[in-house]
Amino acid sequence: MIRRGIILVIAAAMAFGVLRVAYGQRPAYVHVRWTPTVDVGARTEMERTYHLTRGEHREGTTWGYYVTDVSSDNLRALVQNPAVEDTHNIHRTAFRIWRTAPRGEYLTTRPAWIASMLELAIRVCLGLGVIMLAGGGFKTWRARRAQPAAAVS
């Protein structure tokens, strides 16, 4: 059971690798609150610089965007820009997107259904693999515990 669990986890890792190489990362939805001094021209330039797309005004100086470059270098530059007062869905010290951030569609011409199938395969293989590893580990632990202690002479 443990061997099958390991094979499933490896299969999930391989499918994840194929998904990332073929499709990249999906854009993440974030909020950016600009300082009040940022005008339309400056904001438009920074949206281009930091790969912020589909901007929508939220309230005050806060805008919602899909960030297409989710690299830590891009997020670090955005967060540390003095024109940015605050952000939401960006970890401001680790410079990564929060796991709970909504994601957009992949930015590729490849068929979306293939990406969906790969994501499903990853979830199924990883879930079953972890269950098998846990079950096999529990079975091994229970078998060892049931063995009588060696007699001490």
**Does 5 have pLDDT greater than 70?**
yes
Amino acid at 9: V
- What is the mean predicted confidence (pLDDT) over 93-109? 93
Which ranges of the chain would DSSP assign to H, the alpha helix?
2-23, 40-49, 72-80, 112-146
Confidence of residue 150 (pLDDT cuts 50, 70, 90): low
- What is the mean predicted confidence (pLDDT) over 76-89? 97
Under a CB-based contact definition with an 8 Å cutoff, are residues 67 and 140 in contact?
no
Fold topology of 25-97 = Alpha-Beta Plaits (3.30.70)
- What is the mean predicted confidence (pLDDT) over 56-70? 97
How far is the C-alpha of 90 from the C-alpha of 70, rounded, in Å?
10
Parse the chain into domains and list their residue ranges.
2-22+108-146, 25-97
Express each pLDDT in 114-140 by its tens digit: 999 999 999 999 999 999 888 877 777
Q: Which pLDDT score is estimated for 141? A: 67
Express each pLDDT in 17-34 by its tens digit: 999 999 988 999 999 999
Under a CB-based contact definition with an 8 Å cutoff, are residues 28 and 102 in contact?
yes
